Amino acid sequence: MVSRQDGIERRLRRVLLLGLPAVWLVSGVASAFLARLEVDELFDTRQVTMARVMMASLPVEEMDDHPHALPPMPAPSLLGRAQLEDEMIAVWDRAGRVRIADRGGRMFPRTPARNGFYEAEFGAEPWRLYTLYDAPSGWQVTVGQRLAERNELMLDASATPLIPWLLALPLLLLANASVIRRSLRPIQAITAEMSARRADDLRPLPSEAVPEELRPLMMAGNALLGRIAGLRQRERRFTDCAAHELRTPIAALRLQWDRLRKRPSIVPADLDTLGEGIERMSRLTSQLLELSRAEDRTAISTPVAIDWPTLVAQVTSECLPQAQNRAVELVCNWPTAGTGSAWPLAGDADLMQILLRNLVDNAIRHSPRASEVVLDLRPAGLAVIDHGSGVAPEALAHLGERFFRVEGDTTPGTGLGLAIVGQIARLHRLAVHYRATPGGGLTVELEPQTALVVATPPR
């Protein structure tokens, strides 16, 4: 896939739109140049031949003093398509008198010292002249041709083959654009198929209708999808096995610990240490599984409206024993009648319960005894507020990172609770803000960031 760069179709169209007219322009210039060479060669040869024939036909002895005009102009019906005014001729004797000339030839100058071709202007029009001077007899013959005639013939000769090609150029461009679009349609179909899929949809892409050039790419992509599917399957099997194998010994340890506590010969401090280790292992296992479950998803497949009263009641009942052990009071503030209803959020109720439980649990563990933890439900968000020791400003930016713990914090924990909160919040397109509570403590706020992305349900 091409990021900010031009796509294949756009590059091909640009090459055609610029290349074909450029080729036509270069061809036109080259054709005009070659046509001009041919026209000049043709008419220069004609002027030289005409002058030589005229010189050869002149008498050796002097003619009479009266100038001889050329024969009268034939009738228009006998001229065909001739343009006689575009070519003129003049003949001078030794004394410089015009002896033979047509109507326009009298304007040519007599230049006995200037033999050959040269250009001059007569009547504001450029002419090409050829002068032939015979020194022994003193005769001079000048044949002139209007340059406009040569230019017209040159344009006709070069434009005749180019005009049909120019007329066909738009059709050629449209045909090429259509061919490019049709040729790239399989790539667009593959792109649409990949864009519409969920992240966990690793089925092979259909390759039956793919062009031969794309088939190796499709085969390599399908092989990669197969390897990813195998890795995901092994990861899920490992997660399931780890969950089963860890829960069983933890349950056995809990049972043994309960039995040991009933024996008077056991030192209570050892039992407390054993209990804390077991509790930490149980908590770490649960949070790892919750984090793995949250990271395994990229979107909410079937969002439902969150029932906040039910959700808060469930979280409160789960966290109440821990709060009672620490003499922490759980307070829930609901929007008043004049400020609107509770936050209308659609999402996954189970994941939101995990998120809220981690926030409340984190607040309880960091709250001093005989304090309170406030769950503040707002019309467009919620906040969990504690009044503990708080977090240093430089550490606020790192909250939510995996296994991050504030320096000097001795509260039992794994550093995964807020990471789980961040992952579930991202799934629901929620922003998480960490702020210092006035008077000491930490306030965690959640608010909508963008519209929730709804995944397509699995087929």
Domain ranges of the chain: 1-59+82-196, 198-296, 300-448
92-114 mean pLDDT: 81
Site of tokens 């009071």: 329
Give the per-residue pLDDT at 458. Answer: 36
Return the beta strands (E) in 6-153 as ranges: 68-69, 87-92, 98-101, 116-122, 125-133, 140-146
* Per-residue confidence (pLDDT) for residue 264, from 0 to 100: 67
> For 150-196, what is each residue's pLDDT tens digit?
888 777 777 776 677 777 777 877 887 777 777 777 777 777 777 77
Helix H segments across 262-346? 268-295, 308-325
- Residue-wise pLDDT for 13-50, tens only, equals 777 777 777 877 787 777 778 877 888 888 888 888 88
Q: Any idea what the Cα angle at residue 294 is, between residues 293 and 295, rounded to 5°?
A: 95
pLDDT of residue 294 exceeding 60, the answer is yes
The CATH number given to 300-448 is: 3.30.565.10
What are the helix (H) ranges across 366-448?
Answer: 393-396, 417-427
For residue 86, give the DSSP letter.
Answer: G
Per-residue pLDDT tens digits for 204-245: 777 776 777 777 778 888 888 888 887 777 677 666 656 665
Given its phi and psi angles, is residue 319 left (phi above 0), alpha (psi -120 to 50 degrees) or beta? alpha
Alpha-carbon torsion angle 314, 315, 319, 320, nearest 10: -50
* CA–CA distance, 387 with 328 (Å, rounded to integer): 10
What are the angstrom distances between the C-alpha of 40 and each of 127, 151, 247? 13, 10, 101
Mean pLDDT of the chain: 76
User: pTM of the predicted model, to two decimals?
Assistant: 0.45
For residue 382, list its beta bridge partners.
Answer: 377, 446
